[in-house]
């Protein structure tokens, strides 16, 4: 069966060494107008704990966005799977971020063969889905042989009957260019 092209960003699977996957609260500036979807990588910017969507190849990532809450312009509390990126009177914006550098993520790759397990790769931001709130981020693994310089360390193929090596393979990855991991910018690896 062929793999399905359906990127969902980074989806938490488990932690290195076991334990629970937890999230922490960060903020989003009220004037931040870029949409952030569940599964998008975020970085901390400015003062306080403000986060913004990370660009591919970013080296100071803080974690992965999994939703947010805010007070809308009418004073109503809202929980959302994505930040719509619209500055229309929203206040008290709280982003939930899985910021543990030891979380292993499932992510769709553009393609992956067995020889690419262990390489480091970057991602493409893709297009998020406003109905589901899910990210369109996917790993750019196909043809990669790099062992340095990428944000994601490819740990293995996701072991499921609906997944196989080739185009759109789902892989497990570690976010190695992370502010809570001692990795030198541009070097990658663990």
pLDDT digits (tens, 9 = 90+) for 17-74: 999 999 999 999 988 999 999 999 999 987 778 999 999 888 889 999 999 999 999 9
Burial label, 77 (beta-carbon count in 10 A; 0-12, 13-18, 19+) = exposed
CA 47 to centroid of chain Cα atoms: 22
Work out whether strand 103-108 and strand 11-15 pair parallel, antiparallel, or are unpaired.
Answer: antiparallel
Tell me if 117 sits within 8 A of 144, measured CB to CB: no
Work out whether strand 61-71 and strand 41-44 pair parallel, antiparallel, or are unpaired.
Answer: antiparallel
pLDDT digits (tens, 9 = 90+) for 116-134: 999 999 999 999 999 999 9
Listed by start position, the domains of the chain span 21-98
| pLDDT class of 184 with cuts at 50, 70, 90 | very low
Q: CA-to-CA distance for 150 and 121, rounded, in angstroms?
A: 4
């Amino acid at each position: 069966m062929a793999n399905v092209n359906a990127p969902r960003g980074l989806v938490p699977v488990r932690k290195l060494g076991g334990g629970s996957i937890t999230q922490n609260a960060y903020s989003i500036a009220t004037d931040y107008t870029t949409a952030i979807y569940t599964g998008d990588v975020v970085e901390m910017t400015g003062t306080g704990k403000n986060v913004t969507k990370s660009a591919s190849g970013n080296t100071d990532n803080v974690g992965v966005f999994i939703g947010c809450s805010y007070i809308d312009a009418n004073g109503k509390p809202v929980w959302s799977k994505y930040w719509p990126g619209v500055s229309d009177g929203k206040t008290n914006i709280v982003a939930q971020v899985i910021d543990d550098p030891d979380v292993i993520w499932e992510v769709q790759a553009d393609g992956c063969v067995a020889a690419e397990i262990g390489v480091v790769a970057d991602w493409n931001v893709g297009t998020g889905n406003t109905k589901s709130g899910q990210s369109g981020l996917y790993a750019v693994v196909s043809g990669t042989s790099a062992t340095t310089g990428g944000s994601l360390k490819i740990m293995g193929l996701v072991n499921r009957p609906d997944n196989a090596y080739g185009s759109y393979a789902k892989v497990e990855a570690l976010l190695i260019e992370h502010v809570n991991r001692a990795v030198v910018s541009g070097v990658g690896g663990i």
